[in-house]
Chains A and B, each alone.
Chain A
């Protein structure tokens, strides 16, 4: 039987800053809708939004092939506009949901209830946030559809899921979410236990490190690699992943459906054109499930990244502008790596430092370098210390990656000997994942 999926959630307006231009798109559950549309899946939308968007929502949902669009709640006081400051997620996604404190939503679930009686959906995917989830769960309780919930934003307390009267089919969460980072303190085991208490399966998405799919029925999770590539945005990519997995899990193995979802989510992040995305989905589905299950990618679970110590070789001096070093260090921490800034850890040498202090500091820096698994050089300006540290790391067989935001050198050895020389931080972060996964896999 062909899956029939209902998407429940808010529609927002995404405002993306892309290389000096602004892209304005319908977002929220539309990301999942675009993925289902590209698959040719029968789907419906039950949405919450301010009234000014209704016409556009109905029109665009129709264009995507939604068989029915039901408004389940109206938003007042807030335009549902999401400003996205960091579209590629090299670090924390800098989201600003305009006037979020003024957001008021009034649900009206009559038509939705009628629709649930008329049609037997195979799956309902809920994207909570901005509406009363308890009422949606109570409404769904009498119906047999498999319920999947992406809990990235809400709820913070999983107790609400008891209102469904049965386990969720899938609870989905990202390691970037506040729920994971703040409520569960980044503890994968704890969140997995909590997830499987209220759901048959728990999907933990781990950014560029892949994802893990835990099941009540199996001891070991399914490991799904990430396929890192050049992307132009990351907004809604997780929603795309969820819906592709939900749809394909009806016809292929869980592992294969998760890998298809991962590859297709990469395609979604690489284009803003729905027609090109659909072409990419079509050709990805030409890869057989056997082949796709063998495809190698980057697999680096969240907690394993704490074993990857990264030496930041850079002119990290009080007298220098270190804002770019700060940014990189913050990105590495966001991804749960352990960055080391030798000048901060071992101190800065001044004109007044004694020979003994100089020697001790130099040795401490080298010792720290040798304890790290990767060296990341940040070439802000021509700094001899950075080049020497690069040379030592190369000689020791420690992978060296160079981030040169200001393109300051054309030096042959500096460009040719490292694993990567790049002016693009997104590329640098992906290569760090590649190298870290190789180290972790050894």
Chain B
């Protein structure tokens, strides 16, 4: 098995980020120590509490595929909300595994993206792709 730092202690190592694979995923499949976690794209994020969101409560439907969304900078009930870019209506919460983004938001990062899948039934469901801007 290969050592990551050529026979030295790893705290002195500065490994380079892995070369991107042509046609491969843009990120989100693992954490490279050399990529700032705030900049890692977030593909296929399934939002939570979609059925009780402002958007669904008001319209009784979910936003269509392709709709522009962004991450709200302030917490909503202790959760990080995703909202429509137009109208700023919350469409759901990020799973709590993405709570670390709160620090990124404080650091000035903003996150935008698109709805990649959505359905009203059997339960309201939204999947989004997000990336830092």
Contacts and interface: CB of A to CB of B under 8 A. Distances in A.
Interface stretch (B32-40, B51-59, B64-72, B82-90): B32-40
A296 B100 contact: no
Contacts of B5: 23-24
Contacts of A18: 4
A276 interface: yes
A284 interface: yes
Nearest to A227: B99
A399 to B, nearest CB: 11
B19 interface: no
Contact of A295 (B4, B11, B75): B75
A20 B75 CA distance: 39
Interface residues of B, number: 31
A273 interface: yes
A291 B75 contact: yes
Interface stretch (A90-98, A143-151, A264-272, A380-388): A264-272
B25 interface: no
B102 interface: yes
Given A22-B3, A270-B37, A232 B31 contact: yes
A291 B73 CA distance: 12
B5 to A, nearest CB: 7
B10 A271 contact: no
A324 B110 CA distance: 41
Given A25-B10, A56-B9, A286-B107, A230 B2 contact: no
Interface size class for chain A?
A: 35 or more
A279 interface: yes
A277 B20 CA distance: 23
A267 B100 CA distance: 8
B95 A434 contact: yes
Contact of A291 (B10, B30, B37, B102): B102
Contacts of B4: 18, 21-23
From A20, A228, A286, residue with most partner B Cβ within 10 Å? A286
A26 B37 CA distance: 24
Contacts of A284: 100, 103
A56 B12 CA distance: 11
A24 B9 contact: yes
B107 to A, nearest CB: 4
Contacts of B96: 225, 227-228, 296-298, 434
A203 to B, nearest CB: 21
A17 B10 CA distance: 13
Contact of B100 (A23, A24, A263, A274): A263
A430 interface: yes
B33 A271 contact: yes
A97 B8 CA distance: 20
A24 B3 contact: yes
A325 B106 CA distance: 42
B2 A287 contact: no
Which 4 A-B residue pairings sit nearest by Cβ, starting from the closest?
Answer: A286-B106, A283-B103, A294-B78, A296-B78
